[in-house]
Amino acid sequence: MEKYSYNQFEYLNREANSKKPIIKHNLDEPDYVYKYYSLTSYNVDSVVNSYFYASHPIELNDVLDSNPFLLYSSKKLSLEHYENIFSEVLTDNEVFELYEKDINDENRCNAYISTLYEISSNLFGVVSFSKSGNNSLMWPHYTQENGFQLKFKTSSLKSSLSSLLNENNEEILGIYPVNYSDKIEPIDISMFNSFHIPFYYLTNIKSIKWQYENEWRLIASKSNMGVPHSKAGLSNRPDYFVGKENRFIFYGKEIIEHICLGFTFFKGKDFDLLWLNSKELQIKLKKKNRDKTPIVKLSLLNFIFFNLKDKLYLSGIKYELDENEKPYLTRTKEKVEIYKKNSKTFIITRTNKIIILKD
């Protein structure tokens, strides 16, 4: 079996639907993983309809992450390589002309690598999680303190995803820790008989500067997941999409352990806020608000009320004392209760069941 080792990670080739891992490592799988969401209609829709969006590499927030420049060839590839991917769209003469032009010292098999990357990225997507339930940078970076966080038991997550797969064209390749590295080195595709190992590698390697995220990444495979060319820099190519839903990976909503709303989720610009007493806060949608954000929040609150009312937490801030009895600020999660008064009004009740969060 082909394999490639880098930075104490081992990337393996395997046949489709095999239960063997594609990435070996020495890190313990976390009992729980967390997903941080910004407040958008797309993210709320994914929660309400119980799916993850498996991102194309172009859609990731770091241009170095899963970039095609991580692929190169140290030597000229054979004509057979080109025939395997171009023969269905080009004549034999056209394939040969492309081959002769592409293997020179200037192009270095660039057309082959770019096309192979495009074909492969149409079949794969990544879903990012963190093993950190409290991270002082993840909350502001990914939720802007206005979004929310979901908690999943890792074993339940994997079981649920597998049970809802379409076995004809969908596969979960596993959930793996990101390989954080001082240097992001490209991989030589000429070393391998197939493109699987190079693609697993490029979707798993990240700069060590991102290590604070403690990311565990789910790799999913489906046919025709799409390639969003228009989201790439300096590209006028039209998107290739059969349907955006082809990047949806479904799970059962019952596996959500809890949902935690950001500290600024309930804003005065979105809702009329009224403290009924020391514990109960009435939240009512403002009238004549042109901003769609309150409607999106209302949709999420409805979902929580009907599905997660006993799993709701609210982010907070609290003073704690250090070993010298000096106060310092720390993040908290407080369990809260939710009651729906009418279509536009909810009551949030504090329970004083507070979890002190530490990085």
| pTM, to two decimals | 0.93
Are the C-beta atoms of 178 and 65 separated by less than 8 Å? no
Question: pLDDT at residue 337 above 90?
Answer: yes
Q: Using DSSP, how many helices (H) and how many strands (E) does the chain show?
A: 8, 20
What token pair was written down for 159?
Answer: 């079981």
Question: pLDDT at residue 97 above 70?
Answer: yes
CA distance 216 to 75: 34
Tell me the pLDDT band of 17, cut-offs 50, 70 and 90. low
CA distance 219 to 117: 16
pLDDT in tens, 301-314: 999 999 999 999 99
Q: Which amino acid is residue 130, in one-letter code? A: S
pLDDT in tens, 23-70: 999 999 999 999 999 999 999 999 999 999 999 999 999 999 999 999
CA distance 263 to 301: 15
Are the C-beta atoms of 147 and 39 separated by less than 8 Å? yes
